[in-house]
Amino acid sequence: MAQYSAEQLSEFDAAEWRKIGWNDQQIQTWLNPNMRYLEPALRWNEQPEQHILHYRQENYPELLKQIHSAPPLLFIKGNPELLTQPQIAIVGSRNCSDYGEYWAKHFASELSATGFVITSGLALGIDGFCHQATVEQQGQTIAVLGSGLQHIYPARHKKLARRIIETNGALVSEFFPTHPPIAENFPRRNRIISGLSLATLIVEATERSGSLITARYALEQNREVFAIPGNIQNQYSQGCHTLIKQGAMLVERISDILENLPHFSINYRPPAKVRSQVQTAQLAAPEVQVSYPELYKHISSLPISIDDLINATGLNVNELLVQLLELELQNLICQQNGLYQRN
């Protein structure tokens, strides 16, 4: 496809096809395509909000075209123009901790409000939380599937898939609409998630997580890779820590991402609708005056015990419990299983 147009190929004879590497079966398929496969896809394309985009069309996403083995066809349900907008991929483990869920939603919301499209894989866990957080603030998100778009997988995310479409997002697949979800498809689709995006953020990942496949694709595609650190005893942090050791950018706040994307203009303003919602939310939720800022600064999103807080603050246990209760009443912190963390 990079060397020849469809018109040029149609003028070749068998000898010329063989010269460019086609075998007899490929030649026969070109000459006599099996319409049993093609006709259902063409009918699918005729339905509202359903599109087939091929490699040679002008609106095929330029970033995706740059990768090795770019998909010749993309099946899109929803807004096809979204694929050419600045995107950040956010991915992570299907089984994740509360810590991972919190930061997935936080970064998806913040990056969406900044103007990025959030791209992920519609999987359970981190992927789903990112899509969910984005649509809840009416941001735009792209879900890349490892199945045809008539087979939403996992099934429990069918409602989420509908909400993505309703908020002007898109579902994308390189597989024909009726193609079932097969295990080998999912590593393949990861190259599309990273290929569409300026950068990939890994929130949580075990050492064998499929998210690390996405990170590897991103590196091969010369894209930035970011990773969120976690508890060293948490198995879901091991993959992120490995990436950081190998050179991925450690992320603590959204500015860590924005300042390391030379392709993206910091002056990019989010759509007016998103901008308005963020401003409204800021007006509706004035900043709370922290009663005990010295104690509060020692409490983060990582759970911490009373003993550790006593050592960090020098307070006695009675003083500490009074101050912790006040911070809880301010809805600034929460307590679970004897450990404290920020809300």
Mean pLDDT of 126-136: 97
pLDDT value for 263: 58
- Of the listed ranges 172-176, 198-202, 290-294, the least confidently predicted one is 290-294
* Separation between Cα atoms, residue 308 and residue 128, nearest integer Å: 34
**Cβ-contact 223, 199 below 8 angstroms:** yes
The identity of residue 288, as a single letter, is V
132-136 LR contacts (CB < 8 Å, sep 24+)? 132/105, 132/160, 133/104, 133/105, 133/106, 133/108, 133/109, 134/108, 134/109, 134/167, 134/169, 135/160, 135/163, 135/164, 135/166, 135/167, 135/169, 136/109
Residue 123 makes CB contacts below 8 A (sequence gap 6+) with 94, 154
Question: Considering Cα of 209, then 226, then 102, then 137, what sign does the dihedral take?
Answer: negative
**Cβ-contact 78, 169 below 8 angstroms:** yes
* Separation between Cα atoms, residue 165 and residue 337, nearest integer Å: 39
Name the 3-class secondary structure at 119.
strand
Q: How confident is the model at residue 268 (pLDDT cuts 50, 70, 90)?
A: very low
User: Between 89 and 270, whose confidence is greater?
Assistant: 89
pLDDT value for 284: 41
- What is the β-pairing status of strands 249-250 and 224-227? parallel
DSSP 123: -
pLDDT digits (tens, 9 = 90+) for 67-78: 988 999 999 999
DSSP 201: E
Mean pLDDT of 94-111: 93
For residue 8, report the phi and psi dihedrals to the nearest 5 degrees: -65, -45
Q: How do the domains of the chain map onto residue ranges?
A: 1-32, 80-281, 293-342
Q: Which CATH number fits domain 293-342: 1.10.10.60, 3.30.70.360, 1.10.10.10, 3.30.460.10?
A: 1.10.10.10
Q: How confident is the model at residue 302 (pLDDT cuts 50, 70, 90)?
A: confident
Closest among 110, 339, 88, 96 to 240, alpha carbons compared: 96
Within this chain, domains 80-281 and 293-342 share the same CATH topology: no
Q: What percent of the chain has pLDDT over 70?
A: 92
Q: How confident is the model at residue 288 (pLDDT cuts 50, 70, 90)?
A: low
pLDDT value for 24: 93
**Cβ-contact 264, 198 below 8 angstroms:** yes
Res 28 pLDDT > 50: yes
Res 2 pLDDT > 80: no
CA 272 remoteness from chain centre: 23
Res 267 pLDDT > 50: no
pLDDT value for 264: 57
- Of the listed ranges 10-14, 196-200, 268-272, 280-284, the least confidently predicted one is 280-284
Which tokens sit at 186?
A: 């999912």
The radius of gyration computed from the CA coordinates of the chain, to the nearest angstrom, equals 24
Averaged pLDDT of the chain: 88
Q: What percent of the chain has pLDDT over 90?
A: 61
- The fold of 80-281 is Rossmann fold (3.40.50)
Which tokens sit at 119?
A: 């791209």
CA 297 remoteness from chain centre: 30
